[in-house]
Amino acid sequence: MSNGADWTEGYTSEVDYTMGFYRELSPLAFEFAAQLRGMQAPRVDQAFRYFEIGCGHGYSLNLHAAANPQGTFIGNDFNPLHVANARGLAEEAELSNVTFLEKSFAELLEMEFEPFDFIALHGVYSWITRENRQQIVEFIRRNLRSGGAAYISYNSHPGWAPVAPLRRLMTEKAAREKGSLQQRIDASIALAEALDGAGAKYFQMIPSLKTRLGQIKGQNRNYIAHEYFNQEWNVLYHADVVQEVNAAKLNFIGSVNVAEQFDQFAVISAQLPLLAAQPDPVLRETVKDFLMAQQFRRDLFVRGAMQIPGALAQPRLLAQKFVLQVPRAECTMKVKIPIGEGNLDATVYEPLLDRLAEGPASVSSLATRPEYQGKQIAEVYQQFAILCAVNYVLPTLPADGEADRRRATDRFNRIVMQRAQYNSSYQFVASPVTGTGHVVDRLDFFMHDLVGQTEEQMVKAVAAELRRAGQNLTKDGKVLSDPTDEAAELATRVSTFISQRLPLQTQLGLVSARGGKQGARR
């Protein structure tokens, strides 16, 4: 962004962006996504350099810096409030490997940096001018090392095509209203609802718009402001993005969304031959976007893409460990995938999940088990990858260096747990095992301090904490006003925490931040 009278250049600054965490920004997610394609990306088990463009409040960058002290992280955002918040969290968590800049894109081009292994931007590409997109590509060209990875996510066609007129309607209405941006957004939503109620043919022609409008109405207004009400709002085709980043010598690798790397999860079986018949990779992605009605792409590029040599592939596949990211009891064979729902083969995946319930496992650790005798390494690795695709499992960082990572994540998580008491945006804590973030419920934060007490004592303590905070317990979206119902629900939650979530959080290295490591007494 150039230095002009209006430093925002049409980007919404009246309200700050939401305090979001995005796991797809994890450096290990980039390496794993490339590895699934058989391609090389920078290794994250050694020193690396990472730059995030448009880092917002820096929650994701700070968390990943805590979980990856072997890396050097730099984040940039043009909004001074975002940068101040990001720096504040880094200072409180004593993170010495992260720096935040408040620069325009043009100003970044005037600076000199050591080459980066990773450059990432999440969503920003859709909300800026073509000139600014060119400046970002030039920044990548100058500063991404050969073999480095670039992650660019953006709103995409054709999925956004039906919604674009609705967005235009709302921005036209908001531009003519008075009051705060939130008030103008509410007025624009009310106009859209009135049109729907009046039987506007636009809504009749696209029945899904009613659902979309309901979703918009229920979303955080700060998020809505940045998602829909920027002056620049560009929905892009994959082919156009590939053409733009070609100036930085980037080669498209694949989606960081693991599920989308499995065609059988992304499109229905009858569409697979049509997809397979597209030899050109750019056209293939475009056809896939049409089959999926893709609205948001998470594209990974590498500057100088190289295949992993066969001599190296097998040792890396054997050594890669995986860990559960949800309790074993929640891992059913009916799974959610991009095309809707699917079913896993119980004879294949139940034993694998049972093994993972015991702790992190690698392909090599399964080689001696009877049920895996005679199986190819690539086949077993594929099974782990499919469990990642359905969000049951994540790859882990190597055990070497975990002690250093744990010290950094303990400090960071302690600050997050403190902030969570008065700000519900702080829901993610850092794992020294996976190198990324995991959701921890606010009550779980509190219950970590109670571990070692009886379950009855824990129930009473949690009830007292809810009363102190002036909060009500809810179940199925309804407030539990009856003390007996509340006590019964709390007993269930405490029991589930002790039997399911606490063991998982211990495996992920999330527990030691508050010192709770022993189970509650029955």
pLDDT of 381-390, one tens digit each?
999 999 999 9
pLDDT digits (tens, 9 = 90+) for 11-25: 454 444 567 899 999
pLDDT at 5 over 90: no
Report the CATH number that the domain containing residue 253 is assigned in CATH: 3.40.50.150
**Domain-ending residue, one of 374, 395, 416:** 395
Regarding whether 107 and 88 lie in a shared domain, the answer is yes
Judgement on whether residues 191 and 290 belong to the same structural domain of the protein: no
Looking at the structure, tell me whether residues 117 and 188 fall in a common domain.
Answer: no
Q: Is the pLDDT of residue 181 over 90?
A: no
In a domain, 312, yes or no: no
Clarify whether residues 358 and 459 are in a common domain: no
Q: How many domains does the chain have?
A: 4
Q: Is the dihedral of CA 223, 228, 229, 234 positive or negative?
A: positive
Whole-prediction pTM value? 0.90
pLDDT in tens, 244-303: 999 999 999 999 999 999 999 999 999 999 999 999 999 999 999 999 999 999 999 999
Instruction: Work out the angle at residue 12's Cα, subtended by the Cα atoms of residues 6 and 17, and round it to the nearest 5 degrees.
Output: 130
- CA-CA distance, 103 to 331, in Å (whole number)? 44
User: What's the CA angle centered on 18, arms 187 and 126, to 5 degrees?
Assistant: 80
Measured distance CA(257)–CA(388) in Å, rounded? 10
- Side-chain half-sphere exposure of 146, counting CA atoms within 13 A: 2
Asked whether residue 7 is assigned to any structural domain, the reply reads: no
Mean pLDDT across the stretch 515-522?
42
Q: What HEC string does 459-515 produce?
A: HHHHHHHHHHHCCCCEECCEECCCHHHHHHHHHHHHHHHHHHHHHHHHHCCCCCCCC
Could you please report the per-residue DSSP string of 330-391? G--SEEEETTEEEE--HHHHHHHHHHHHTS-EEHHHHTTSGGGTT--HHHHHHHHHHHHHTT
- What does the alpha-carbon distance between residue 285 and residue 369 come to, in Å, rounded to a whole number? 39
| Bond prior to 158 in cis (omega within 30° of 0) | yes
SS3 98: strand
At residue 454, what are phi and psi to the nearest 5 degrees? -70, 160
What token pair was written down for 173?
């209405």
Q: Highest mean pLDDT: which of 182-186, 247-251, 413-417, 454-458?
A: 247-251
pLDDT of residue 202: 95
Q: Can you say how many angstroms the Cα of residue 94 is from the centroid of all Cα atoms in its chain?
A: 24
Q: Is residue 10 one of the residues assigned to a domain? A: no
Find the domain containing 337 and state its range. 321-395
- pLDDT band of residue 512 (cuts 50, 70, 90) is low
| Residue 321 · residue 395 · CB < 8 Å | yes
Q: Tens digit of pLDDT for each residue in 307-321?
A: 988 767 778 888 899
**Residues, the chain:** 522
d(CA 415, CA 447): 16
Same-domain status, 274 and 383: no
Class of residue 294 by CB neighbours under 10 A (exposed 0-12, middle 13-18, buried 19+):
buried
Residue 108 sits in the same domain as residue 255: yes
